[in-house]
Chain A
Amino acid sequence: MSRTRARSSTPAHSIPPGTLPSLVVGVVCLAAYQALAPAVPGDKDSGEFTLVLATCGLAHPTGYPLYTLAGSAFVRALHALGMTWAQAANAFSALGGAVAMAGVHALTARLLYRSVPSRNPGLFALLPVLALALHPVWTQEATLAEVNSWHLAWVMVAALAALRLGETLARADRAGRPAAGAAAAWGLVVGLGAAHHATSVLVSLPLTLALLLLARRHRRIGPGAVVAGIAGLASGLSSVGYVAWRAHHPAAEQWPELEATAAGILAHLDGAQFRSFLGRFAPSAIQQTRLAQWVYPLLVPALAGAAAAWRPPASGATAVRHAFGAAVVLQTGYAFLYGVSDPSPYFLTALALGLALAAEALCSWRPARHAAVAPALAVALAITMAPGLRAAQARAEAYAQLDDLVRRMWGAIPPGRAFVVWDDDMASRLRALQQLESSRADLVVIQPRHLSHPQPRKRFMREWGFDPVARWPDEARGEGAGTERGVRLAVESIVTTINEGSSLPLYVFRPDVPSLRLIQKHAGDSAAVTTGIPAR
């Protein structure tokens, strides 16, 4: 056995890493994220998730049933203690963020434990935390109602579990004994991850392959282990039944496209509506700036860490570490091939795992063992990432201002039943005002583009007696479908059709202008009428 192999399979430090330092990291991060979290919903899906958690509803595909069930209980408890719904929903993400950062520290410390001696293993373990804890892309997820802080928390729990199970499977004194307990535990971890976020497969797949390799090498696979693994997986996945149940028992806040059929439920669970994003990279201008400033500079050492994870020896003891490297590459590739306008959160898993691997590789590198290296890197990272604190504060202030503006605009809508059209995901804020604050239940909030889909369209026709997409513009068909102009004209045609099909007043709600417009009823030229919608 080579000297390197001997080092890699024997702990270099006599005392295994304890949980207390990681717990301290988690508590500090929880306090920080709670302090940085605004008392209002944020942008993007935050308003929807806040409302879903408060009402135990159902979010957009893939439904996030585990997040919804656990988060709803958490949010209701905090609300009962006096928090607003938005504060409670944001606090749930803060808790997920704290668990994730504690996990990043614990994982790095355990990787270092398997590495060569260093004078500052504790400080090396802190480096990935210092790089990520105040990272603006991360604090957006850890201070607002979103699913990604809990996803990273799961990634870290899965990584730690894989390390532990890998060691258990490789124990010489248990060779030949089927590892049913380990299989059940790993199946449960994989199932929980899949129930929370579809991209968990990018982590669970390589880790499962590594564990299977170890189990096979040490003759620890048997029918009992396979059955136990499947049972654990099914148990972890059980919360997806909530999506099926909600399809037949709709909540007040529910993704409107969900169809109460087996095909509709499956389409919701597998995110079929978002497959069109696959295969391209299309960040918005603001995201391009954010990626260049905050993500790519850390992605370089993260990918270097992934590459270093595959350094020899390719033994069973390092199979799990190799799988971490593979997960970093898979997650990075996915982020570059998912064409949403805001891809930055999809890099977080690669950054966290990759930076943990990079810290371990750096600690193993002889020139980096100088006593000054780890403190110098820690100080440099702290200084570099310090602006992230101000960015998170400024973001929270901005969201509070936006919430104030939205509330004043909402309050300015004249009394009486009316349609309020806001062609933006933030329309969920208006539904939250209705459902959580009993404000203006007489108003009908419309996100027009949703009405072009079968289920919302059918419901609208049942309730109002006319088809909101009956006057679909020719420019939005064929080659025009999906183009910016085609979509704009289609949305305008829906607004016009509703306005003319109903006797109720129709207001176009545009906080970004800001503008609140009453569209006049008119029997004339519909194209002219639609110009009443202000340009963005």
Chain B
Amino acid sequence: MDCSSLHRELRPFEDRALLRRLPFNWKHMDRESDGSRHRLRDVSPADAATP
């Protein structure tokens, strides 16, 4: 299955050239190794299928 057919990237908000001129500097952010940040770290439901 071609995964690219399953989503569509929307970029009307920005073009890459402008993004390069306005790079957001993530070094100022407290991020996890994957770039995210979650106050709630755990995902819990042992009873996932039976609420």
Using a CB–CB cutoff of 8 Å, the interface residues on chain A facing chain B are 43-45, 48, 60, 257, 273, 276, 284-287, 341-342, 394-395, 398-399, 401-402, 404-405, 408-409, 411-414, 423-426, 449-450, 452-454, 457-458, 461, 467, 469-470, 472, 476-477, 481-482, 484, 486-487, 490-491, 507-508, 511-512, 514-520, 522, 524-525, 528-529, 531-532, 536
Report 30 cross-chain contacts, Cβ distance below 8 Å, ordered by A residue.
A43-B29, A44-B30, A60-B39, A284-B30, A287-B30, A395-B28, A401-B24, A405-B13, A408-B14, A411-B13, A413-B10, A424-B38, A452-B43, A452-B44, A454-B51, A469-B45, A472-B48, A472-B49, A481-B46, A482-B43, A487-B43, A490-B43, A512-B31, A514-B19, A516-B10, A516-B11, A517-B8, A520-B6, A525-B1, A528-B3
When the two chains form their complex, are residues B5 and A518 in contact, meaning their CB atoms are under 8 A apart?
no
Shortest Cβ distance from residue B4 to the other chain A in the assembled complex, whole angstroms: 9
Additional A-B contacts beyond A512-B35, A536-B35 (16; CB < 8 A)? A43-B30, A284-B32, A286-B30, A341-B30, A342-B30, A342-B37, A394-B28, A401-B25, A411-B13, A423-B38, A424-B38, A426-B37, A453-B45, A469-B48, A518-B7, A519-B7
User: In the complex, what distance in Å separates the CA atom of A461 from the CA atom of B48?
Assistant: 13
* A388 to B: closest C-beta gap in Å: 13
Query: B28 contacts A398, CB within 8 Å?
Result: yes
Cβ distance A217 to chain B, nearest Cβ, rounded Å: 45
Bound Cα distance from A425 to B14, whole angstroms: 23
With A408-B14, A529-B6 as given contacts, are A449 and B48 in contact (CB-CB < 8 Å)? no
**Prevailing SS type, chain A contact patch:** mixed
For the complex of A and B, the 6 pairs showing the least CB-CB separation, nearest first, are A472-B48, A532-B7, A412-B13, A408-B13, A342-B30, A452-B43
A residues in contact with B25, CB < 8 Å: 394, 398, 401
CA A413 to CA B42, docked complex, whole Å: 29
A448 → B minimal CB distance (Å)? 8
Q: Which of B11, B39, B41 has the most CB of A within 10 A?
A: B39
With CB as the reference atom, state the residue of chain B lying closest to A276.
B42
Write the chain A residue with the least CB distance to B37. A425
Contacting pair B29 A520 (CB below 8 A):
no
Which residues of B lie under 8 Å from residue A518 when comparing CB positions?
7-8, 10
Is B40 an interface residue when CB atoms closer than 8 A count as contact?
yes
Nearest to B27 among chain A residues (CB) is A286
Indicate whether A401 sits within 8 Å of B11 (C-beta atoms), given known contacts A43-B30, A43-B37, A452-B45.
no
Name B10's closest neighbour in chain A (CB-CB): A516
Give the residue of A287, A394, A507, A520 whose beta carbon is less than 8 angstroms from that of B5: A520
What residues on B are CB-neighbors of A424 within 8 Å?
Answer: 36-38
Q: Quick check: A398 and B5 within 8 Å, CB to CB? A: no
Which B residues lie within 8 Å of A276 (CB)? Answer: 41-42
**Closest CB in chain A relative to B35 CB, distance in Å:** 4
By the criterion CB–CB under 8 Å, are B34 and A484 in contact?
Answer: yes
* Chain B interface residue bracket vs A: 35 or more
- CB contact under 8 A between A405 and B3, given known A399-B28, A484-B34: no
B45 CB to nearest A CB, Å: 5
- Could you tell me the distance in whole angstroms from the C-beta of B49 to the nearest C-beta in chain A? 6
**Distance in Å from the Cβ of B34 to the closest Cβ of chain A?**
4
In the complex formed, the residue of B with least CB distance to A277 is B41
Tell whether, in the assembled complex, residue A511 and residue B24 are in contact, meaning their CB atoms are under 8 Å apart. Answer: yes
Task: Tell me if B22 is interfacial: C-beta within 8 Å of chain A.
Answer: yes
Identify which of A399, A449, A476, A508 contacts B40 (C-beta below 8 A).
A449
Nearest B residue (CB) for A394 = B28
State the CA gap A457–B7 with chains docked (Å): 26
Interface residue from B5, B40, B45 paired with A273 (Cβ < 8 Å)? B40
| Contacting residues, chain A, for B28 (C-beta < 8 A) | 43, 394-395, 398-399
- Chain A residues contacting B34 (CB-CB under 8 Å) are 484, 536
Q: How far is the CA of A342 from the CA of B28 in the complex (A)?
A: 12
Residues of A within 8 A of B22 (CB): 401, 404-405
Minimum distance in angstroms from A40 CB to a CB of chain B: 12
- A208-B37 Cα distance, complex, nearest whole Å: 37
Please state if B40 and A405 are interface contacts (CB–CB under 8 Å): no
Q: In the bound complex, how far is the Cα of B7 from the Cα of A515, in angstroms?
A: 12
Contacts of B32 in A (CB 8 A): 284, 341
Contact, CB under 8 Å: B38 / A528? no
Q: In this complex, what residue of B is CB-closest to A136?
A: B28
* A469 surroundings in chain B (CB, below 8 A): 45, 48-49, 51
Contacts of B35 in A (CB 8 A): 512, 536
CB of A515 within 8 A of CB of B9, answer: yes
| Max chain B C-beta neighbours (<10 A), residue from A404, A512, A515 | A512
Contact status B33-A285, CB under 8 Å: yes
The residue in chain A whose Cβ has the minimal distance to the Cβ of B25 is A398
Task: Provide the residues of chain B in CB contact with A285, threshold 8 Å.
Answer: 33
CA distance A469 to B39 in the complex (A): 20
